[in-house]
Amino acid sequence: MTEGVAEARKKDQRGVLLLRAGMIALMLGMFVWVAGDGLLEASLFLAVAAAYAVLVYRVVSQSVRAFTVMFGTFFLNYVTLISITVDDDLGIPAAGPWFVGFVVGGIAGAYVWFGPGAGTEFKQARKRSPEADGSFTGGWRLAVVNAVCVLVLLGMGVAQLVLLSPSVLAVAVLAVAVIAGWALFRFPPPLPVRDGLLLAIPVPWFALMFIGGATDQMGLPSAWAYGVLAGILIGGRYWSGPRFGAPRPPFSGQGTRRRLRNRRPRTRQTERREDQVKTPVSRS
């Protein structure tokens, strides 16, 4: 019976793998058909985006905060590449290949393709569990992952500033954004104030988008976004001391953990005592 169930599960997983492989093949076929004469140049952006997505799912996912930041950066890159394509700064389509490459890489990196777990969702082998006070441990792995993500974010921000608006104002916006993100996570305010400031982060992005459109400096919103995200990763983690690599509270979920107590089985004597307490005593 169990062998039959195991065989059925393997067949289901193989079918799911074939479906995902077909999706990848279909998207790549459409990309080749649409790219046309610019296939070679557009393939570069597709390959970079695919590798980016695989690394985000397979490596960066060790850090929840870094994974969230880098996954959200995909949409930021897509919007920025649309601006670069509209201005024709590169001379080749970039936004479309980036989008297709990230989707293809996401499908390839988010699932297991070989081995006994083929067809299942990819999960990190080592899951971190909170300490007694509710905080999480760090280590050199998380520190390296977050440091590399910071360098990638700053590199993307600088590269897009050079392409879109290489001006002193754009560089100043990038620097101020890094300091703002760092200060918000390095010296966290109370919880209601923190949540309000996190929700207010996109407001300057939209404002700088209008300002950049009016002054022909389209790199201003990108400078703000990349700078804030890099500052968040820098300020939200310990970079020295015994907690090297660990996230800073209260963003680490620090708090007291509730201990679950095992309930003892109820006996007839305890049930009788509860009935006696609940039943009112009649007075003669």
- Per-residue pLDDT at 146 exceeds 90: yes
pLDDT mean over 103-114: 87
Residues 6+ apart with CB under 8 A from 128: 136, 137
pLDDT band at 185 (very low <50, low <70, confident <90, very high): confident
Report yes or no on 133 lying in a domain: no
Q: For residues 143 and 235, state if they share a domain.
A: yes
- Per-residue pLDDT at 108 exceeds 60: yes
Of 54, 228, 227, the C-alpha closest to 155 is 227
Residues 6+ apart with CB under 8 A from 124: 61, 62
Q: 249-265: per-residue pLDDT in tens?
A: 765 444 444 444 555 55
pLDDT at 282: 47
State which residues form the domain around 16: 8-124
Q: Among 60-69, 90-99, 138-147, 267-276, where is mean pLDDT lowest?
A: 267-276
Q: For residues 216 and 238, state if they share a domain.
A: yes
Q: What percent of the chain has pLDDT over 90?
A: 25
- Per-residue pLDDT at 283 exceeds 80: no
**Which pair of structure tokens corresponds to residue 282?**
């009649």
**Which pair of structure tokens corresponds to residue 255?**
């708090």
**Which pair of structure tokens corresponds to residue 148?**
């590399």
Q: For residues 245 and 192, state if they share a domain.
A: yes
Q: For residues 219 and 187, state if they share a domain.
A: yes
Q: How many domains does the chain have?
A: 2
Cα 133 from Cα 246, distance rounded (Å) = 14
Report yes or no on 280 lying in a domain: no
pLDDT mean over 97-119: 85
Q: 123-144: per-residue pLDDT in tens?
A: 776 655 555 555 567 788 899 9
Report yes or no on 52 lying in a domain: yes
Of 218, 221, 207, the C-alpha closest to 174 is 221
Report yes or no on 119 lying in a domain: yes
Q: Among 25-34, 58-67, 190-199, where is mean pLDDT lowest?
A: 190-199
Q: For residues 107 and 155, state if they share a domain.
A: no
Domain boundary among 67, 98, 124: 124
For residue 277, with 0-12 CB atoms within 10 Å meaning exposed, 13-18 middle and 19 or more buried, which class applies?
exposed
Q: For residues 102 and 143, state if they share a domain.
A: no
Residues 6+ apart with CB under 8 A from 19: none
Report yes or no on 89 lying in a domain: yes
Whole-number average pLDDT of the chain: 79
Report yes or no on 193 lying in a domain: yes
Q: For residues 12 and 120, state if they share a domain.
A: yes
pLDDT at 260: 45
Report yes or no on 183 lying in a domain: yes
**Which pair of structure tokens corresponds to residue 243?**
């907690």
Q: For residues 86 and 172, state if they share a domain.
A: no
pLDDT mean over 12-24: 82
pLDDT at 1: 47
Report yes or no on 275 lying in a domain: no
Q: For residues 103 and 17, state if they share a domain.
A: yes
